Each structure stands twice: as structure tokens, then as C-alpha cells.
Amino acid sequence: MINFALDCDFMTKKPIQFKTEIKGNRLARAGVISTPHGEIATPAFVVVGTKATVKALAPEQVRDLGAQTTLCNTYHLYLQPGDHLVAEAGGLHKFMNWDKPMFTDSGGFQVFSLGAAFGEGGVTKFAKEGTQNAQTMVAEEGAKLAQVDDDGVTFKSHIDGSKHRLTPEKSIAIQHNLGADIIFAFDECTSPQADYDYQKKAMERTHVWALRSLNYHEQSGKAGTQGLFGIVQGGKHRDLREESARVIGSMEGLAGFGIGGSFSKDDLGEALGWVNNILPEDKPRHLLGIGEPEDLFIGVENGIDTFDCVAPTRMARNGTLYTKTGKINIFNTQYKNDFTPIDSGCGCYTCQNYSRAYLSHLFRAKEMMAGTLASIHNLYFIVNLVSAIRSSLVAGTYEQLKKEYLG
């Protein structure tokens, strides 16, 4: 852990550093992100702790399953309990008892997908199909509306309907109050079904907002302890994605990059390649909200260093569990008296100590430990899959590993 309080370079050293250790095929790379709360060996999966808690897990359980870092959601925490309260508590790390590296997102995605609209004009609506981005799953739960203009976004709270407004400056101010190591510039997250002209307009707005986010961040006095990532948008269009990568990639004060928006399963790798062939190699790249096993391989091959996704924990709470041979639904009758672990050979706490029959019982009995044990397993599976991908890059055995997982 880098202790900035004892570091003579305090005022000049950047809080987020990235070092590439090994380059693999195509754009793949293994590296290390250094943060004020320790290092992240990349590629890495970032565990989502939406409301300052990884659902159903104590921080020690998150750490023990191998997680190096978490990501909390600015939109949720701004609304509840409020970023000023978190600041008063000493910041998110202390508030939620997580002393390792942490990200917060910008709130942009949730504002567009969860925030309810009011008024007329300028509305953005999320599509209900045609994408595989986990973020879109949220939007699918009920298409919501928010009102966007060049200065920011006005929305209603999904909790109590109260009216709120986020601008780039406000998003960064909130993220300063939350105090994560890595924070994101405010962006406009468009529907994948928006037309080219709207995607271009939203992308240009995202670029202006990135610059405003960066300026606010650099003038705030927080740039020595928190690193700002800019977000590349541009939908499914190569020219827009490349333009976005050039514009965002040229902002020197950014500590790294996020790649946002929705992708179709078939286009993900290609789109990431467009972007990561342009983004500077010396800064980390985060793929926002995507994390199915196949996506992780596609992401790494196309230059992604970190991933976050709610799918492992959300699926876990619904009883869908990863195994090396595919997902299983623990509610299936066959598992009621199956006394083997969820996944033979899995080293997670759940598989080491409990059977499919026990999980099946807990889910049917609606016991809280069902979600806990299932989440531990699914997160272990994904976190350690990304760790294994990293090890395989170092060892030069990536293709073997990929074949083992994807067949």
C-alpha cells in the first residue's frame, strides 16, 4: 500500500499509477494499478457494492473470496444516505469497513436508467432488447425517463419521486464526498436504439462533460488522493467510438478510462478493439457493467484491465449459479438431494462447506444465507476466473485457459 502521508512526492505524485507487466496476444496485458488503498493486479473483476455494501456479504467475505476492489454507485449513495453524511462518517472506506481499493461510478448510467422523468422534451429512453450489457438489465426492469440538456440531467428519485439534478461538477463533488480511490467523469448513457445523430450528440456532450469533470476535479484539491477516469461513449459506430477514444484519451489529467454504453454480444470485442487501439497504453481501462465469463475473455483480449458487473450477485440471489460447465438453477428438483458441491473442484467457501441440497433447501425456505452462500460462490467464480486469466497471460497459457472455460 502506498502511504501518501509519508510520501515526499505527495503533491506531485498521482494517486493512481498503472504499470504493464506482461503483454499478451492482440491487446491483452497484465499489469498493476496502484491506489492510495493498495494495489490491484489486473486484469481484475471489481465487485459491485451498490449502496455501500456488497449485497448479502460482509467485507471480510468479499476479501476472502479473492476480491481486490469494489465499486459503489454514486446515484444510489447520493440519494441514500447522502454523500454529505458519508463524508461526515469519514468517507466510504470507513463507512462500509472496506480498506482496499474502491471505485465509484459517476451516477450517469443510473440517472438515465432508474431516474424517473418529468416535464417534456429532451428525454432519453432505454431500450428493452438487443443488448447484453448488464447495465441494460436494470433498464429492462422498466424503462424510465430522465431529462437531459447540455448542462446536465434532471431526474426524479426512484425512491421518493423527489426532484434532483446532476451536472458534471455535481457528480464529481459527490464522488469527492464519497472518497473512492477511482472516480468517473459524468457521462450521458444512451439507449442502444438511439439513432446515429443522437449517439453523436450524446458523445459530444459526454466529451464536454469529461472536460468539465476534469477541470472541477483538478481545481478541487482532491486530485492528489483520488484519480479521475474519463468515459468513452459512441454507441455501436466505429467512427464515433474512435473519435471518443481520441478525445477522451487526449485528456492528460485523467488517471484512466471507462468504456460505457451498450454492446451487442457479437460486436463487443470489435468495439473494444476500436477504442483500445487508440487509448494511451500507460493508463488503465475499465469496462463498465459487463462481466459474463465469455465477455471477460473478449474484454481482456481487447485491452480491458478491469470489469464490474452486478450479474454474479444478482443471479446468485435468484438461485442461478456458475459452474465450469455452465450455469445451473438451484431450484431445479434434481438438486434437492444432490449432496455434491455447486461446482466440483471449486475452492470457494460455499463449495468447501455446503452441498447443492443445502443451497436448494435455503432457497426454498427463503433463508437469507441462500443469497450469501450463492453470492460467495458466483463472485469467487468470476473474480478467480479473471485472476486465472491474469495468471495465464503471465504464464503464456491464455489460449489453453480460454478453451478450458469456453470449450
3-state secondary structure of 310: coil
- Closer residue to a second copy in complex, CB, 367/399: 367
47 vs 52, which CB is nearer to a second copy?
Answer: 52
* Distance (Å, whole) CA 63 – CA 72: 16
Taking CB under 8 A as the rule, does residue 75 contact a second copy?
Answer: no
Size of the site for a second copy (CB under 8 A): 37
Does 141 bind a second copy (CB under 8 A)? Our answer is no
> Is 368 near a second copy (CB under 8 A)?
yes
Q: Does residue 53 bind a second copy (CB under 8 A)?
A: yes
Strands (E), 132-284: 145-148, 153-156, 163-166, 182-184, 227-232, 256-259
| Interface with a second copy, residue 353, by CB under 8 A | yes
Among 26, 51, 128, 237, binds a second copy (CB under 8 A): 51
| The binder of a second copy chosen from 361, 388, 391, 405 (CB under 8 A) | 361
Measured from the CB of residue 54, what is the shortest distance to a second copy in angstroms?
Answer: 8
- Would you give the binding string for a second copy spanning residues 372-391, x where CB under 8 A is met? xx------------------
Nearest CB to a second copy, comparing residues 304 and 321:
321
Residue 213 phi, psi (nearest 5): -60, -45
Catalytic site includes residue 7: no
Residue 61 in contact with a second copy, rule: CB under 8 A: yes
Question: Smallest gap, in angstroms, from Cβ of residue 365 to a second copy?
Answer: 5
By CB under 8 A, tell whether 91 contacts a second copy.
no
Indicate the Cα dihedral angle 74, 75, 76, 79, nearest 10°. Answer: 110
Alpha helices (H) along 280-355: 293-301, 311-317, 349-353
Site for a second copy in 314-343 (CB under 8 A): 336-337, 339
308 assigned to active site: yes
225 close to 256: Cβ distance less than 8 angstroms: no
138 binds a second copy (CB under 8 A): no
367 binds a second copy (CB under 8 A): yes
* Pairing between β-strand 29-35 and β-strand 38-42 as defined by DSSP bridges: antiparallel
Q: Which stretch binds a second copy (CB under 8 A): 82-90, 126-134, 297-305, 382-390?
A: 82-90
Tell me if 122 contacts a second copy by CB under 8 A. no
Shortest separation between residue 60's beta carbon and a second copy, angstroms: 9
Rule CB under 8 A: say whether 89 interacts with a second copy: yes
Cβ nearer to a second copy, comparing 48 with 194:
48
Q: Is residue 228 near a second copy by the rule CB under 8 A?
A: no
138/142 Cα distance (integer angstroms) = 8
Min dist. Cβ of residue 78 to a second copy (A): 13
User: Where are the alpha helices (H) located in 74-233, listed in sequence order?
Assistant: 74-79, 83-88, 92-96, 108-113, 134-140, 168-178, 196-219
| Terminal-residue alpha carbon distance, the chain | 38
Taking CB under 8 A as the rule, does residue 88 contact a second copy? yes
Cα angle for residues 173, 221, 252 (degrees, 5° grid): 90
- Single out the catalytic residue among 305, 308, 338, 343: 308
Contact with a second copy (CB under 8 A) among 52, 231, 254, 275: 52
CA separation for the pair 278, 101 (Å, rounded): 27
Those residues whose C-beta lies under 8 Å from the C-beta of residue 197, and which sit 6 or more positions away, are none
Q: H or E stretch including 34?
A: strand 29-35
222 to each of 121, 168, 173, 189, 212, how far by Cα in Å?
A: 36, 15, 10, 26, 15
Contact stretch for a second copy (CB under 8 A) within 181-189, 301-309, 362-370, 389-397: 362-370
**Catalytic option among 105, 181, 295, 338:** 105
Does 73 engage in binding with a second copy (CB under 8 A)? no
Nearer to a second copy, 32 or 357 (CB): 357
Return the residue of 56, 117, 138, 311 that touches a second copy, per CB under 8 A: 56
104 binds a second copy (CB under 8 A): no
Give which of 68, 54, 65 is closest to 96, Cα–Cα: 54
Q: Which helix (H) or strand (E) holds 275?
A: helix 268-276
Which residues face 402 on adjacent strands? none
Cα–Cα distance measured from residue 270 to residue 210, given in angstroms and rounded to the nearest whole number? 24
Query: What residues line the site for a second copy (CB under 8 A)?
Result: 51-53, 55-58, 61, 76, 80-81, 85, 88-90, 95-97, 336-337, 339, 353-355, 357-358, 360-362, 364-365, 367-369, 371-373
Residues designated as active site: 105, 308
